[in-house]
Every structure is written in structure tokens, then in C-alpha cells.
Amino acid sequence: MKIRSITKLVIFIVFCFMSQYPQVVLSSDINQQSELKWLLEQMKERETTLTSLVADFIQTKKTRLLREPLQSKGQIYYDSTGKMLVKVTSPSSAMVLIRDSLVLTYYPDLSRVEKRYLGNNIIRKYLGIGMSIDELRKLYRIKIVSKIPGNGYRVKLTPVTETIMKRIETIEIETKPTQWLPEYIFFKEKGGDSTAIRLQFTSVNKPLPESIFTITIPKEQREEY
């Protein structure tokens, strides 16, 4: 699992931390405009109060190259101080730690470690978290697609930059007022492939021990990091 492989797993955090509103596509109906504005305000409020989260995830990828979907499961740990750990537990183990300027990926089954330094503000730069309004409006247009059970919403993000449009056609996100965090994310990729991620939040705004954001590597493979 390289850095691009975890991008889909963490894009949902972008929605939780939008520091300003991105460019939006509004219906001509006044009520629709007001509803979308209200929804974005709820997610904006979540940004100001969210300090940490833990979530179980199931990712299902459908590709033209395979008859059966590929499914992976695991957990995500996030701390607003700039640390994140993605643990894939099935079908094979992998761990991706993001903190400071480091992305550390460990494959226990393969006894392999990958380490990359991507500079300061890595989460902001590569995952889009905390961007200004001018930066965000260059990435997506947003509109409400439908309402879902539980007083929730299904929202569509359409890329507006050539870089993202080369890979992603649309992103759809489902969120509910219980948390105002994305519980379901669907990526429609260029070429027909798709990726769906279902998230179940097990902890929100509870202190996470520093030890969570470490990876234990066997001595023979260990490097100081």
C-alpha cells in the first residue's frame, strides 16, 4: 500500500476540516440553496470541534480487470495535531503512519518497510486539510444529490482541476446529523472502476494515547524514525 493507495481512505477527513466553503453548484430552487448552505455550515461546525477520531472501515473496489470485487478492512486513527494511522487488517496486513514530514508504511506479512519524507504540513498539502477558500474552490464543486434515512444527505463532489479529473470522475459522500462525519464515500474513477468506503466511528473527540501513532517493527528491519 503506497501513499496513493491510502488517499481514498482519508479524503473523508477533508470534509470534516474544510476551513472555508469550496465552490458549490446550487439548484435554482431557493430552498435547495439554503439547505446546501446549512449543510455546509454543520460540517464547518464539526471542523471547529473535532479533535480526534477512530473508525472501522470496509473498502470495496470494483475493477474491470477482476470478476469479483476486492475488499479490505481495518481501522483509521486521527489526531488533529497532525497524526494519522491507517491499519489494514484484511485480507493482508499493512500499516501507514503519517506524522510530521514522514509517511511510514509497514507490510508485516512481507517484512517490508517503506519510508518517505514529504515535507512540512504533509496532511494539509497532500490530503487537502485546512485549505483556504481560494485553494478549495479550485478542487471541487459540491451539490446535494438526495436525502437518506436518518435525516442524512448524499453529497456529490465533482473535480474541477485537471490533475484530479484525470483519475476521479465524481466522489459521493453520505453524512448524518449524529456526527456530521462522512459515513460512506463512493469514488467513480475514470475508466469505469469504483471504490466504496464504509466508515463506522467508534470514538470521536476522546483522547488518543501517543502510543497509538507508532508502528512496532521487528529489530532486524528497524530503522530509527
Asked if 25 and 143 touch (Cβ cutoff 8 Å), the reply is yes
How far does Cα 28 stand from its chain's mean position? 30
In a domain, 135, yes or no: yes
Q: How far apart are alpha carbons 91 and 212 in whole angstroms?
A: 22
**Is 211's pLDDT higher than 80?**
yes
In a domain, 69, yes or no: yes
pLDDT (tens digit per residue) in 120-174? 655 554 444 555 445 555 778 888 889 898 889 998 888 888 888 888 899 898 9
Q: How would you list the strands of the sheet with 168-175, edge to edge? A: 112-117, 102-107, 94-99, 83-90, 70-79, 52-62, 194-204, 182-189, 168-175, 152-159, 140-148
Per-residue confidence (pLDDT) for residue 77, from 0 to 100 = 94
pLDDT (tens digit per residue) in 104-117? 899 988 888 888 88
In a domain, 21, yes or no: yes
DSSP character string of 79-142: ETTTEEEEEEEESS-EEEEEETTEEEEEEGGGTEEEEEE--SSHHHHHH-TT--HHHHTTTEEE
Per-residue confidence (pLDDT) for residue 88, from 0 to 100 = 92
In a domain, 104, yes or no: yes
- The pTM for the full model equals 0.77
Per-residue confidence (pLDDT) for residue 102, from 0 to 100 = 82
Higher pLDDT, 19 or 154: 154
pLDDT (tens digit per residue) in 39-93? 877 777 776 788 899 999 999 999 988 889 999 999 999 888 888 899 999 998 9
Locus of grid cell 477527513: 13
In a domain, 221, yes or no: no
Segments forming the whole domain that contains residue 23: 3-205
Q: How far apart are alpha carbons 60 and 70 in whole angstroms?
A: 6
**Is 7's pLDDT higher than 80?**
no
Residues 6+ apart with CB under 8 A from 105: 1, 2, 3, 94, 95, 96, 97, 113, 114, 115
Which element (helix H / strand E) includes 39? helix 30-49
In a domain, 211, yes or no: no
In a domain, 215, yes or no: no
**Is 12's pLDDT higher than 80?**
no
In a domain, 159, yes or no: yes
Q: Which CATH number does the domain housing residue 51 bear?
A: 2.50.20.10
The domain total for the chain is 1
C-alpha cell at 113: 518497510
Higher pLDDT, 213 or 167: 213
